[in-house]
A and B are shown apart, each in its own frame.
Chain A
Amino acid sequence: MLRNACAIGLRAAASLLAVSALAFLVIAFMPSDPVMIAIRAWNLPADPATIAGLRAQWGLDSPLPARYLRWLAGFVTGDWGRSFRTGEPVLDEFAARLPLSLAIGLGGLVLACLAAIPIGFAAALRPDGPADRASRLLAVAVQAVPAFWLGLVLVWVLGVKLRVIQPFSGGPSIVLLAAFLVALHSTGMFARVYRRDLIEQCAQPHFRTALAKGLDRRRALWRHGHRGAVYAMLSAVRSEAGWAIGTTAALEVLFGLPGISQFLVQSIGDRDFFVLQAYVMVVAVWMLAVNATVEAAVGRLDPRWRGNRP
């Protein structure tokens, strides 16, 4: 078990390293120079001395491999460089913004897991019953509609018609609304996956045995199907993790919430190298962390799977 964890950690570190090198390369070769952008933005004289000074100050004067190694050493030790635009350490900028983005993205995913179980269970209890139809409709509908549009419509309904929330205020009600919107997309998906797995289990011998022993369908499904269906659902969490980032980004822009994606959007025009690099790293860590968590949870839930480990 411990050896497995080490192996997973090592491979995660290897992919992080590869992603960081790739991102560094892409970012370094972006057209337009951050120094020239800054000189224009700050109305500095565009003489060689200023350019060279800024370059040296931002560490852009050394060759690319040296810059990468310096960045890598800094990244590991907690020095993520300084933002060209704000002049603040990138790590502090991210630390200030990450909780909000996490609250929306992670909160949404957790909310979706919690909501999907009762919905999926009700759907599996009576296939083609009202709950099943409703959950199918939900899944189809939320997949067809971008979350930020739904957010816009909800702002209109809740903010204008019912006056329950203050739109664009950035208050807790907006963060909650954003998390709810992230959750909505995943809930439809998770509920369908959970239901499909429950239904599949109904055909299994152990389930028929449970029925024969006298359990009714509800109890048999819960006692003998629920666990298996939960880890089917957890596997779906992996594919939703990437989607949640995109949804969170669009919602931050819609509601004007100061999260990391909004910071990225503000920084990308200025070619703020360290911010872009940090964003890619945070996203990669998030994806790997979700994967590892799901994997660990599935391993705990399903002894069969553990048995398959080498």
Chain B
Amino acid sequence: MPATTQRGAALAAALTMLALAGAVWQPHDPDAVDLLLRHAAPSLSHPLGTDHLGRDLASRMLVAAWRTGLVVVIVGAIGLAGGSVLGTVAAILGGWRERLILRTAELFIVVPTLVWALTAAALFGLSPLTAGAALGLAGVGPYALFANALTHRVLGQPFVLAAAALGAARLRLMLRHVLPNTLPLIFAYVGSQAGQSVIAYASLAFIGLGADPSKPDWGSMLYEYRMFVFDHPMLAIWPGLAIAAVTWTLNRAFDPPGEAARPAPRRLRPAGGLSRGRRRPT
């Protein structure tokens, strides 16, 4: 097991380096068209070959890696901040205000994240910023519900009751006693969904609403190159492998094998009043 963990960490480090490198440096200009060099085979100068316009595939992949990395970070940050704040605030407020927040959060589950993001992409154009913001905001609902349930559980713990009995102010109680206990779990939950945000962003770019065709993304590259799958399949294989490597690494980092395919706290609370989870002795 340690050996595989090490290998996973090395892969994660390599992918991060590649994504960061993609932000500042590429071997060639990713948009430089060279029609004499169409569909060039891999060589020292073009490690992954070139596409149908003679653009360097490796450079395009690097830029796309950086853009995907941005999306993952933005989606995670919004999910973590929005989910924990909304869930915790709802738990503190209690009463009808808590119910209002939770119902609103449930509302966002009824329409899937991707549909919100598709609409947002059509409105504001598809860029890592808009896609990240849309995917993040649309995904806050489940996080808020999760954070809320978690906060309630911690609020019932003896040490919190003791702190409250000692007269700790509400804000202090939250910052000092509740959040340190809930945040790691919320972080793990948000992280376990990070792999899905990579795939969601790839799907958005593939569907291509509002996308800027001059900017390479793994999803849009797959859409662009799908027609060459008959003669030059590698063009479509590389972006797919990149998506798979990143998603796999993220999934593994937050959801080590041996655990369930998805973490247990995932409890989709549907809006149709079906909020009771399955109760069973374990």
Residues of A within 8 A of B (CB): 7-8, 10-12, 15, 18-19, 22-23, 26-27, 30-31, 136, 139-140, 143-146, 148-149, 152-153, 155-156, 159-160, 188-189, 192-193, 196, 200, 228, 231-232, 235-236, 238-239, 242-243, 245-247, 249-250, 253-254, 264-265, 268-269, 276, 279-280, 283-284, 287-288, 291-292, 295, 298, 302, 304-305, 308
Once the chains bind, are B107 and A15 in contact (CB under 8 Å)?
Answer: yes
Q: Which among A140, A291, A298 is the interface contact of B251 at CB below 8 angstroms?
A: A140
Residues of B within 8 A of A291 (CB): 270, 272, 274
Residues of A within 8 A of B106 (CB): 15
Once the chains bind, are A280 and B111 in contact (CB under 8 Å)?
Answer: yes
Is B230 part of the binding interface, using a Cβ–Cβ cutoff of 8 Å?
yes
Once the chains bind, are B251 and A308 in contact (CB under 8 Å)?
Answer: no
B34 to chain A, nearest CB (A): 25
Is B9 part of the binding interface, using a Cβ–Cβ cutoff of 8 Å?
no
Once the chains bind, are A140 and B248 in contact (CB under 8 Å)?
Answer: yes
| 9 A-B pairs with the lowest CB-CB distances in the bound complex, closest first | A11-B273, A242-B112, A192-B261, A149-B240, A246-B114, A15-B271, A144-B248, A12-B272, A291-B270
Is B35 part of the binding interface, using a Cβ–Cβ cutoff of 8 Å?
no
Once the chains bind, are A152 and B222 in contact (CB under 8 Å)?
Answer: yes
| Contact of A232 with B268 at beta-carbon distance under 8 Å, contacts A145-B240, A145-B243, A269-B122 already known | no
Once the chains bind, are B114 and A249 in contact (CB under 8 Å)?
Answer: yes
Residues of A within 8 A of B261 (CB): 139-140, 143, 188-189, 192-193
Once the chains bind, are B273 and A19 in contact (CB under 8 Å)?
Answer: no
| Contact of A31 with B113 at beta-carbon distance under 8 Å, contacts A145-B240, A192-B260, A304-B280 already known | no
Q: How far is the CA of A228 from the CA of B278 in the complex (A)?
A: 11
Q: Which among A155, A159, A243, A276 is the interface contact of B119 at CB below 8 angstroms?
A: A276
A19 — nearest CB in chain B belongs to which residue? B110
Q: Which among B110, B237, B273, B276 is the interface contact of A287 at CB below 8 angstroms?
A: B110
B125 to chain A, nearest CB (A): 10
A-B contact pairs, 19 of them (CB 8 A): A8-B273, A15-B110, A30-B123, A140-B261, A143-B261, A156-B229, A160-B233, A228-B280, A232-B278, A238-B268, A239-B262, A246-B200, A249-B203, A253-B206, A265-B118, A287-B111, A288-B270, A291-B272, A295-B272
B49 to chain A, nearest CB (A): 17
Is B115 part of the binding interface, using a Cβ–Cβ cutoff of 8 Å?
yes
Once the chains bind, are A283 and B203 in contact (CB under 8 Å)?
Answer: no
Interface residues of B in 197-253 (CB under 8 A from A): 199-200, 202-203, 206-209, 219, 222-223, 226, 229-230, 233, 236-237, 239-240, 243-245, 247-248, 251-252
A288 — nearest CB in chain B belongs to which residue? B272
Q: Which among A152, A250, A276, A292 is the interface contact of B229 at CB below 8 angstroms?
A: A152
Q: How far is the CA of A31 from the CA of B114 in the complex (A)?
A: 20
Once the chains bind, are A295 and B206 in contact (CB under 8 Å)?
Answer: no
A31 — nearest CB in chain B belongs to which residue? B123
B281 — nearest CB in chain A belongs to which residue? A204
Residue tally, chain B, CB below 8 Å to A? 56
Once the chains bind, are B118 and A146 in contact (CB under 8 Å)?
Answer: no
Q: How far is the CA of A31 from the CA of B271 in the complex (A)?
A: 29
Residues of B within 8 A of A (CB): 106-107, 109-115, 118-119, 122-123, 195, 199-200, 202-203, 206-209, 219, 222-223, 226, 229-230, 233, 236-237, 239-240, 243-245, 247-248, 251-252, 257, 260-262, 266, 268, 270-274, 276, 278-280, 282
Q: Which among B122, B248, B257, B278 is the interface contact of A235 at CB below 8 angstroms?
A: B278
Once the chains bind, are A295 and B203 in contact (CB under 8 Å)?
Answer: no
A150 — nearest CB in chain B belongs to which residue? B240
Q: How far is the CA of A74 from the CA of B281 in the complex (A)?
A: 48
B96 to chain A, nearest CB (A): 16
Once the chains bind, are A19 and B111 in contact (CB under 8 Å)?
Answer: yes
Once the chains bind, are B115 and A280 in contact (CB under 8 Å)?
Answer: yes
B104 — nearest CB in chain A belongs to which residue? A18
A169 to chain B, nearest CB (A): 14
Once the chains bind, are B112 and A283 in contact (CB under 8 Å)?
Answer: yes
Tell me which of A10, A22, A23, A149 has the highest count of chain B C-beta atoms within 10 A of its own C-beta.
A149
| Contact of A149 with B222 at beta-carbon distance under 8 Å, contacts A143-B247, A288-B271 already known | yes
Once the chains bind, are A239 and B268 in contact (CB under 8 Å)?
Answer: yes
- 16 extra interchain contacts, Cβ-Cβ under 8 A, other than A19-B111, A245-B112, A287-B109? A7-B273, A15-B272, A23-B111, A136-B257, A143-B247, A149-B239, A152-B240, A200-B282, A236-B262, A239-B262, A246-B203, A249-B118, A268-B118, A283-B112, A298-B278, A308-B279
Q: How far is the CA of A245 from the CA of B203 in the complex (A)?
A: 11
Q: How far is the CA of A14 from the CA of B112 in the complex (A)?
A: 18
B227 — nearest CB in chain A belongs to which residue? A168
Once the chains bind, are B195 and A144 in contact (CB under 8 Å)?
Answer: yes
